[in-house]
Structure 1
Amino acid sequence: MRIDKILWCLRYYKTRSIATEAVKKGHITVNGQTAKASREVFPSDKITLRKDQINYKLTILEVPQSRLGAKLLDIYRKDETPKEAFEHLELLKLSKEHYRANGTGRPTKKERRDIDDYLDDNIETEEFE
């Protein structure tokens, strides 16, 4: 089965065209080599794909005939992605919540109070040092 089709069948991408685009961009490797969309995948192949700032590592156990339900995925692939990658993604999400881009407008009343409290705490600690 083609690499783009198997990634779609294993529910890593919502559509085959998105999977094909990821392969063209070089986000997918099979057995350590950058793959083309037409690359055939066989059982025991190791696939590495980068999606949402996570490097997923998969081993294909069997090739599915068609798209699978989410509960049946573990029959066809073994996910060897380290847990640290998912923890890193959670930290990135948390850090983005507190980031305010330049030019997005004035701070809200609550944000202004938080800024004032932060500045007051830093000024007080500098006075005592």
Structure 2
Amino acid sequence: MIWNLHQFMAEKHTTRIDKWLWAVRIFKTRALSSEACAGGKIKIDGTAIKASRNIMQNDIVQVRKGIIKYVYKVRNIAAKRMGAKLVPDFLEDMTPEEELAKLQSAQKQPLQAREKGQGRPTKKERRVMDKVRDKY
């Protein structure tokens, strides 16, 4: 089957940011993208935005996921979710090398190990571990 880019493009020249983030596969569900917008993890041109904000071509979108701040430039407006092969036609990844280096160093760090026989961590211990993990 031949994919036509126009079937994924919006009729209008704008769409909601939460819908676009979901359509270009940055978030797995639209609810997750809306939640990220509400939590201040999405910025357009350096300004935190709401999920209902419309996005236009050539906008610079910053997405904070974990310890990494991804930067994307909007090439086209997507109307519906698409296959991964079509995503480069709709966004340009402009994430700085320093941010990607953070991701690689975090992946190289070993997971926290527990001594044998310790059992599962308690709720308090788990919160402390999560707090330490979120710092990096």
Unaligned runs of 5+ in 1: 107-129
1:102 to 1:39, Cα distance in 2 relative to 1, 3 A: farther
Give the equivalent residue in structure 1 for 2:108. Answer: 94
What is the rounded CA distance, in whole Å, between the counterparts of 1:61 and 1:92 in structure 2?
30
Q: SS of the counterpart of 1:22?
A: helix
Q: 1:95 deviation in Å?
A: 1.6
Q: Distance in 1 between matches of 2:48 and 2:28?
A: 21
Residue of structure 2 aligned with 1:26, choices 40, 44, 58: 40
Structure 1 stretches of 4+ with a deviation exceeding 3 A read 101-104
Aligned-residue CA RMSD in angstroms? 2.0
Measured in 1, the distance between the counterparts of 2:114 and 2:50 equals: 37
Query: Would the alpha carbon gap of residues 87 and 103 (structure 1) be closer, same or farther in structure 2, given more than 3 Å must change?
Result: same
User: How far apart are 1:38 and its partner, in Å?
Assistant: 0.2
SS in 2 for 1:74: helix
Higher relative contact order, chain-length normalized (CA < 8 Å, sep 6+)? 2
**Deviations for 1:12-57, whole angstroms, at most 9, x for unmatched residues?**
1000001000000000001111110100000011100101321110
The reply on whether 1:70 has 2:77 as its aligned counterpart is: no
Alpha-carbon distance between aligned partners in 2 of 1:103 and 1:19, rounded to the nearest angstrom: 39
* CA–CA separation in structure 2 for the residues paired with 1:64 and 1:9: 6
Q: Which has the higher helix share?
A: 1
Percent identity between the two aligned chains: 32
1:37 to 41, 51, 62: 51
Q: Distance in 1 between matches of 2:117 and 2:105?
A: 23
Structure 2: 5+ residue stretches without partners: 1-14, 120-136
Q: Secondary structure at the match of 2:64?
A: strand
Seen in structure 2, the aligned counterparts of structure 1 residues 94 and 38 have a Cα distance that, compared at 3 Å, is same
Query: TM-score, normalised on structure 1?
Result: 0.74
Matches within 5 A, 1:111-122: none
CA gap 1:91/1:62 in 2 versus in 1, 3 angstroms: same
